Chain A
Amino acid sequence: MNIDSIRNGIVIDHIQAKKGLEIYEALKLNELDCSVAIITNAKSKKMGKKDIIKIDKDINLDLDILGYIDPNITINIIENDVRVDKYHVELPKEIVGIVKCKNPRCITSIEQELKHIFVLTDKEKKTYRCKYCETLKEE
């Protein structure tokens, strides 16, 4: 299957298979007016199968969201058909407004418009705790 390469834009590569759509939705790529391609189950030497997203425009990506959903992805920046930059994302130090704290005793359950924030407390174990009540984020 061939998908046209892009001239100027971004290729999000090495996405864990089946997570492409989740990233598409989390980054709200449906709101863009350029072409966006999601390729699922592409063959990969390293991963077996992977997903890829191609965005036909250079946009500002929310790296925290990407790092939270899949810290192993690669981001390629394309200019005039040439890859000019390539970088990896990391687990974000804070996840803001994506995951809700499920502790019914947490202040986030009652305080008006308080953002739910999870803080990375153990990088190796990928442990996040609620900033306010320190409850562990559920997987």
Chain B
Amino acid sequence: MKNLIDITDLSMEEIEDLIKVAKNIMQEPDKYSEKCKHKKLATLFFEPSTRTRLSFESAMMELGGNVLGFSEASSSSTAKGESVSDTIRTVGCYSDIIAMRHPKEGAPLVASIKSIVPIINAGDGGHNHPTQTLTDLLTISCEKNRLNDLTIGLCGDLKFGRTIHSLITAMARYKNIKFILISPDELKIPEYIKEEILEKNNMEYIETNDIEEYMDKLDILYMTRVQKERFFNEEDYLRLKDYYILNKSKLSNAKKDLCIMHPLPRVNEISTEVDDDPRACYFKQVSYGKFIRMALILKLLDIK
């Protein structure tokens, strides 16, 4: 039985296969509409996340399966003090596959050790969010038609942004990837990511405070939100949340085929005037997220 806890649980070949299946689903959705008939996906969200939960549920429904679950810990037996291990053992008796989000880091790994059905990590605190990374890889593959030879600008909260850390980890396996790391000093990429991933894999990277400095070099600009829930101090959050706001004028030197991505939700870091720009891909990214989750559910349930 396979689980997806960390993006590195998947080999490059497995990621390639998932992308291939997702693209095929996009082309021929009818072929897949009953693949998961009589199968049940449990979405266990111990922490609220409308977007990811709906994406999983929509993915399972489009495969002809059913969904059950809860969307916050207060409506589960966790509120009565039940452990993750016990909840998972119980839910495994009601479902064929589980997608879980939990505020505690490592909770999905604990779940996968005890579970009798496949577990998908749908986000564990500030730690991992592998299906967001798969979504990002499918978006890049569809929009740029390649996963090699890319200059990627990562902008915003590079310190706490788990999607950023996972994306860097995932891209380290591809050739000729260069990163421009754009952040205020307080939210710079952690040293261990530099040492253990970027430098270990001989990846080229530049750190800057200025969003416009390397704009003309970028193939991808990945914007992130400064997340309030990652700060212990309200004052720091308020000071840093408006540091970068992407607007039309900042894009004036950008390449014509730039791909602007964002894991969403956005607060105000991308001006709505950018939404109609053909280079804005963040809403398409949401749609890609559903298709890659469909491919992942099929893979983990071993349905061809």
Q: Which residues of B contact A103 (CB under 8 A)?
A: 105
- CB of A111 within 8 A of CB of B105, answer no
Which B76-133 residues have a C-beta within 8 angstroms of A?
83-85, 102-107, 109-110, 124-127
Q: Which residues of A contact B84 (CB under 8 A)?
A: 107, 111
Q: Which residues of A contact B196 (CB under 8 A)?
A: 121-122
Measured CB to CB, the closest approach of chain A to B89, in angstroms, equals 13
Knowing A132-B109, A133-B127, the reply to whether A107 touches B192 (Cβ < 8 A) is no
Instruction: Give Cα A121 to B196, complex, Å.
Output: 10
Knowing A133-B127, A134-B127, A136-B192, the reply to whether A114 touches B110 (Cβ < 8 A) is yes
Knowing A112-B83, A136-B192, the reply to whether A107 touches B126 (Cβ < 8 A) is no
A46 at interface by CB-CB < 8 Å: no
Knowing A105-B125, A111-B83, A111-B84, the reply to whether A132 touches B106 (Cβ < 8 A) is yes
- CB of A131 within 8 A of CB of B106, answer yes
Instruction: Give Cα A111 to B192, complex, Å.
Output: 27
Instruction: Give Cα A103 to B126, complex, Å.
Output: 12
Which A113-139 residues have a C-beta within 8 angstroms of B?
114, 121-122, 130-136
Instruction: Give Cα A131 to B108, complex, Å.
Output: 12
- CB of B110 within 8 A of CB of A111, answer yes
A94-109 near B? 1/0 per residue, CB < 8 Å: 0000000001011111
Instruction: Give Cα A130 to B127, complex, Å.
Output: 12
- CB of B105 within 8 A of CB of A132, answer yes
Q: Which residues of A contact B85 (CB under 8 A)?
A: 111-112, 114
Q: Which residues of A contact B106 (CB under 8 A)?
A: 106-108, 130-134
Question: How many positions in chain B have a CB within 8 Å of any CB in the partner chain?
Answer: 17
- CB of A105 within 8 A of CB of B103, answer yes
Which B193-252 residues have a C-beta within 8 angstroms of A?
196
Measured CB to CB, the closest approach of chain A to B230, in angstroms, equals 10
Instruction: Give Cα A136 to B195, complex, Å.
Output: 13
With CB as the reference atom, state the residue of chain B lying closest to A129: B192
A1 at interface by CB-CB < 8 Å: no
A110 at interface by CB-CB < 8 Å: yes
Measured CB to CB, the closest approach of chain B to A102, in angstroms, equals 12
- CB of B126 within 8 A of CB of A105, answer yes
With CB as the reference atom, state the residue of chain A lying closest to B230: A105
With CB as the reference atom, state the residue of chain A lying closest to B108: A107
Measured CB to CB, the closest approach of chain B to A20, in angstroms, equals 34
Measured CB to CB, the closest approach of chain A to B16, in angstroms, equals 26
Instruction: Give Cα A88 to B84, complex, Å.
Output: 40
Question: Which of B83, B104, B192 contacts A106 (CB under 8 A)?
Answer: B104
With CB as the reference atom, state the residue of chain B lying closest to A121: B196
Instruction: Give Cα A109 to B110, complex, Å.
Output: 13
Q: Which residues of B contact A106 (CB under 8 A)?
A: 104-106
With CB as the reference atom, state the residue of chain B lying closest to A135: B105
Q: Which residues of A contact B105 (CB under 8 A)?
A: 103, 105-107, 132-135
Instruction: Give Cα A132 to B113, complex, Å.
Output: 11
Most buried by A among B85, B105, B125, B196: B105
Measured CB to CB, the closest approach of chain A to B198, in angstroms, equals 15
Which A50-81 residues have a C-beta within 8 angstroms of B?
none
- CB of A110 within 8 A of CB of B104, answer yes
- CB of A131 within 8 A of CB of B125, answer no
Measured CB to CB, the closest approach of chain A to B137, in angstroms, equals 21
Most buried by B among A107, A130, A135: A107
Instruction: List 10 extra interface pairs beyond A107-B104, A121-B196, A132-B107, CB under 8 A.
Output: A105-B104, A105-B105, A106-B105, A107-B84, A107-B124, A111-B107, A112-B85, A132-B109, A133-B127, A135-B105
Closest 3 CB pairs of A and B: A132-B106, A133-B105, A107-B106
26 pairs from A and B in contact (CB 8 Å cutoff): A105-B103, A105-B105, A105-B125, A105-B126, A106-B105, A107-B84, A107-B107, A107-B109, A110-B104, A111-B104, A112-B85, A114-B85, A114-B110, A121-B196, A130-B106, A131-B106, A131-B109, A132-B107, A132-B109, A133-B105, A133-B125, A133-B127, A134-B105, A134-B106, A135-B105, A136-B192
